[in-house]
Amino acid sequence: MRLYLAHKRSMGWQLRAMESFLTTFSRAVRDVHLSSLTTYQVSEFLAGPKTSAHYKYENLKQFFRYWKARGQLDSVPLPSPIPRGHSTFVPYIYSRTELRRMVSESVVNSTIRPRVIDPATFRTLLVFLYGTGVLLSEALTLRESAVDLKQDVMTVQRAAHARKRTIPIGPDIHRLLTTYLESPIRKQFKDGNLFVTRKGTPVHIATLNAQFRVIRHNANVVRLDGIRFQPRLHDLRSTFAVHRIAAWYEQGLDAQELLPALGAYLGQLGLISMNRHLSLTPEHYRKPLATASRRRDSRKRGNKANPLAAEFLRRIQNS
């Protein structure tokens, strides 16, 4: 990496961003030798967060071509490029069996490097993301003071100037957070972020994603549907939504009528986002949901909406 950067600088390039990018890449693939890199490892990095896949792809293409021209690489370990302006991304929906494997103590404890994040903290965060459906950024910036376990509500915010929303905490998440806050690793820190490192500092998203990829690999959770991107930490949000829709159907509830409440809970008030979650539900759920939607539309206008959904929407929108 240093030789490549020195070569570029000798040609007059300013490479602070490139140096940071290649350092991140080196850490992500765990400093393996160039000749040992696989297309799978590079694909995993391209599917990661923060910068666009096209930006990362083009930078790596230049980097690999440089070393191939100097005989250090037999071939460039890049997957097929993504056409610019065309997104082929489809969120991965974890099965409950896969989720249980990923959050099992045996997998987490044997995977997490406890120097930075305690295994109990990581496991709690994984369950929290799936059990609440909040954004990863919302979870990592959530303050302990924003969690009210007496009223069973929490106030989340996706960005510094974004609109806040107060959402309910279910009994399972209540027990999860109570146990976590009383644990020795968390009890020593007060009034900071809810999820912290061993030093009490906020958890860095890059560290979290790198550790999650190892956990997913050790839990043998692999995407086999032909999509190039492997399952991500952020896909727990889509999994939460799809599992909730499926549960409504199994309970005999009108999922179409409850979708606006789910959208308000997730902070997705537009129909496009919610229909996307609906399209990801298994086929044997989608057909009954479509039928239920047609039945609902054919009802007389005098019928009242689901009172629970209406009350939930009122609470979210007025928070």
The 10s digit of each residue's pLDDT in 186-217 is: 988 887 899 999 889 888 888 888 889 889 99
pLDDT at 136 over 80: yes
Q: How far apart are CA 109 and CA 51, in angstroms?
A: 30
Q: What's the pLDDT score for residue 12?
A: 54
Least confident range from 51-55, 216-220, 242-246, 283-287: namely: 283-287
Q: What torsion, rounded to 10 degrees, do the Cα atoms 28, 30, 36, 39 define?
A: -20
Strand partners, 202: 196
pLDDT at 10 over 80: no
Among 45-59, 172-186, 193-207, 304-318, the range with the most confident prediction by mean pLDDT is 172-186
Measured distance between the N- and C-terminal CA atoms of the chain, rounded to whole angstroms: 50
Q: What's the pLDDT score for residue 74?
A: 82
Q: What's the pLDDT score for residue 151?
A: 94
pLDDT at 100 over 90: yes
Q: What's the pLDDT score for residue 273?
A: 56
What mean pLDDT do residues 279-300 have?
Answer: 51
Nearest to 263, CA basis, from 284, 288, 245? 245
**DSSP for 109-168, written as a single string:** HHHS-TTTS-HHHHHHHHHHHHHH---HHHHHH-BGGGEETTTTEEEE-SSTTSPPEEEE
Structure-token match 């967060």, residue found: 49
Q: What's the pLDDT score for residue 283?
A: 57
Q: What is the CA angle 270-276-281, rounded to 5?
A: 135
